[in-house]
Structure 1
Amino acid sequence: MVPHAVGDDIAEAAERQMTDIIGTPVFLYGFPAELKAFYMKKMPRAEGAGEGGPVCTESCDLLMPGVGEIVGGSMRIADMDELIAAYKREGIDPAPYYWYTDQRKYGTCEHGGYGLGVERFLAWLAGRYTVRECSLYPRWPSRATP
Structure 2
Amino acid sequence: MKYLTYLCLVVLLLVHCRQAATREKPVDSVHTVPIDTPEERPDSLLVIPDTAKIEVGKFQKKENLEPGKEEYTFCEKWKLDSATLVRIIRGFKPINGSTWHYSYDSFDCQLVGIIKISGREYRMYLNAGSYFFLTNGDRQFIFGDEKNAFNKYFLEGNIYDQNPKD
TM range (shorter): under 0.3
TM-score, structure 1 length as denominator?
0.20
Normalised by the size of structure 2, how large is the TM-score? 0.19
